[in-house]
Amino acid sequence: MNDLKNLESLGLVLPSLAYIAGAILFGILGYVAFRPGRKTSTSSLTWTGVALMLYPYAVTQTWLLWAVGVALCGWLYVKWN
């Protein structure tokens, strides 16, 4: 427990469970979009899938992770149908 306090004093904090769940969920959805997008040469599906897989590495706030993820999934839904 003392190690956790030492890490927090350095500015390192563990992500919340909601953040981890969102990162996994949007990563899986991105992979699901990337595969058929690449096979059919549909660039909008491919790049949206890549964005869904990679953006959690750049976002640190949970609410922003979910907001961007839902927006990208909405874009994906529009382009897929």
Both tokens of 11, joined, read: 């500015």
Half-sphere exposure of 76 (CA within 13 A, CB side): 24
Instruction: Give CA–CA dist 11/45, Å, rounded.
Output: 37
Both tokens of 13, joined, read: 């904090």
Instruction: Give CA–CA dist 81/72, Å, rounded.
Output: 14
Both tokens of 71, joined, read: 């927006």
pLDDT means per 10 residues in the chain (81 residues)? 77 85 95 91 90 92 94 92 80
For residue 1, what pLDDT is reported?
61
Look up the pTM and report it: 0.82
For residue 42, what pLDDT is reported?
84
